[in-house]
Amino acid sequence: MDRIAAVRAFIGVAEFGSFNGAARAQGVSPSVITKHIQFLEQDLGTTLLQRNTRRVVLTDAGSLYRERWCKILLDIAAADAAVGEDHREMKGSLKIGAPAAFGRVVVAPLAVSFLREHGGVAIDLVFSNSATDPLSAKVDVLFRVGAPPAIDLASVSARRLASFPMILCASPDYLDRFGEPASIEALRDHVCVNRILAGQSGGSPWRFVRAGVPIEVPTSSAIRANSADAVISAGIHGQGLIYLPACLVQDQLHAGRLRRIEFDAEMGEAPLSALWQNDRHVPARLRAFVNHCASHLPTMDVTHPVAH
C-alpha cells in the first residue's frame, strides 16, 4: 500500500476528527480511509487513533507520528515546487541589497548579465550602507563585504562567494607631502581614513599578514564614513591613507588619482557573502541569481577575486 497515501488519510482523520470527514475531503469512501489506518497501525505495531461514539482522537504515538509526518509532507511539497519552478520560465521579482560602492561596481553588472539569461525576472537594486541582514533590509538577498555580523542562522542563510584583495593607497599629493609608510609600524605616523561597517559603532582595525602572522593595526582619523565612496573621496582629496577592496579603487588607481602603497606585509582580503532569509522554499530565481554570482565573480574584471 502507498504509505504516503495512508499517511495523508491518517492526517485527514486527525484534522477532521472523523473517518467520514477525511473521506469527504479526500474524495474517497470511508472504507478506503479505514484500510489506510489499519495498514499503518498494523505496520507500526501501535495504535494511532482512539475511536469512540463521538469523535476520533490521537493517541500519544499518533500525535508524534502526525507531527513528524507533517514536516515531511511540507518538505515534499517544497521539493516538488522547487523542481517544478526550475523547469518553468523564471518569472517574478528580486530585490537585491548591497553596500552602495560595491553595489555600483559589482552587483549592478551581475544583475545586468543575469537578466540577459533570465529576461522574465525583474530586479530592484537597493544600495545601503546600514543593512546588516536581509530581514532588516527587507530584501530577497543581501551582499555583505567583510566578515558578516553575528546572525541568527535559524532565520538567515549565508553563502560565501568570493574574496577581494585589499589595497592600501593614498593620493599622490598626500604621499608627496608625508611620504609612503615603509612598514606596518609606520602607519601610526599617518592619517588613516577608516570605513565604518554596518553593525559597527566605530572603524575596524586594518588587518595584514607578515611572515605568516596576522597583524591588526588600530586606526584613527578626523574622518570616518560608512560609505566606501566617501572614504575614496577623502583619499583622493589628500585626507589620508585608505584601505579598501581592490575592485572599489581600480578606476582611481588607473586615473592616477590614487597611488598604491607596498610595504613589508601582505594585504588582507575582504570576503563577500550572500545572505537570504531561511525558508523551506527558496525561489528558483533567487537560487539562480546566487549561483550566477558565484560562477561569474571569478571572471569579472575586478582584479580577479579569489573564488571560495
Express each pLDDT in 177-217 by its tens digit. Answer: 999 998 888 988 898 998 877 656 566 788 999 988 999 88
pLDDT given for residue 227 in this prediction: 85
pLDDT given for residue 307 in this prediction: 40
Indicate whether 15 pLDDT > 70: yes
pLDDT given for residue 1 in this prediction: 67
Contact 187, 206 (CB under 8 A): yes
Indicate whether 64 pLDDT > 70: yes
Average pLDDT value for residue range 67-79:
80
Indicate whether 105 pLDDT > 50: yes
> For residue 241, which of 255, 217, 218, 261 has the smallest C-alpha distance?
261
- Quote the CA–CA distance of 258 and 185 in Å, as a whole number: 22
Share of the chain above pLDDT 70, in %: 87
Give the least confident one: 35-39, 52-56, 85-89. 85-89
- Quote the CA–CA distance of 199 and 130 in Å, as a whole number: 7
User: What single-letter amino acid sits at 182?
Assistant: A
Q: pTM above the 0.75 mark?
A: no
Indicate whether 72 pLDDT > 70: yes
Indicate whether 235 pLDDT > 90: yes
pLDDT given for residue 16 in this prediction: 83
- Quote the CA–CA distance of 193 and 219 in Å, as a whole number: 8
Confidence bin at 151 (pLDDT 50/70/90): low
Indicate whether 10 pLDDT > 70: yes
Indicate whether 259 pLDDT > 70: yes
Average pLDDT value for residue range 233-252:
93
Between residues 278 and 162, the one the model is more confident about: 162
Q: Chain-wide mean pLDDT for the chain?
A: 84
- Quote the CA–CA distance of 188 and 192 in Å, as a whole number: 9
- Quote the CA–CA distance of 98 and 107 in Å, as a whole number: 7
Burial label for 279, CB within 10 Å (0-12, 13-18, 19+), is: exposed
Between residues 86 and 194, the one the model is more confident about: 194
Average pLDDT value for residue range 153-175:
87
pLDDT given for residue 138 in this prediction: 86
pLDDT given for residue 150 in this prediction: 58
> For residue 208, which of 142, 263, 128, 276 has the smallest C-alpha distance?
263
pLDDT given for residue 83 in this prediction: 61
Confidence bin at 53 (pLDDT 50/70/90): low
Strand pairing of 206-210 and 266-267? antiparallel
